[in-house]
């Protein structure tokens, strides 16, 4: 996650401005499911219930 901020000025500016959110995750090739890691979230709001 830190590498994304360091290597992309465009994404860093958008994150800093609150225009986008970023969250880490892992795609399982066997099941096709994605597991998200909430502790890595930057500018991500919880979905409305």
pLDDT tens digits along 13-38: 999 999 999 999 999 999 999 999 98
Phi-psi region of 11 (alpha: psi -120 to 50; beta: other; left: phi over 0): alpha
Q: 48 pLDDT exceeds 70? A: no
Q: 1 pLDDT exceeds 90? A: no
Q: 49 pLDDT exceeds 70? A: no
pLDDT of residue 7: 95
* Spatial distance between the Cα atoms of 11 and 38, rounded to a whole number of angstroms: 19
**Structure pTM?**
0.68
7 or 44, which is more confident? 7
């Amino acid at each position: 996650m830190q590498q994304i901020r360091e290597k992309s000025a465009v994404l860093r500016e958008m994150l800093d401005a609150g225009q986008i959110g970023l969250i880490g995750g892992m795609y399982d090739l066997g099941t096709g499911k994605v597991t998200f890691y909430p502790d890595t979230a930057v500018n991500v709001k919880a979905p409305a219930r």
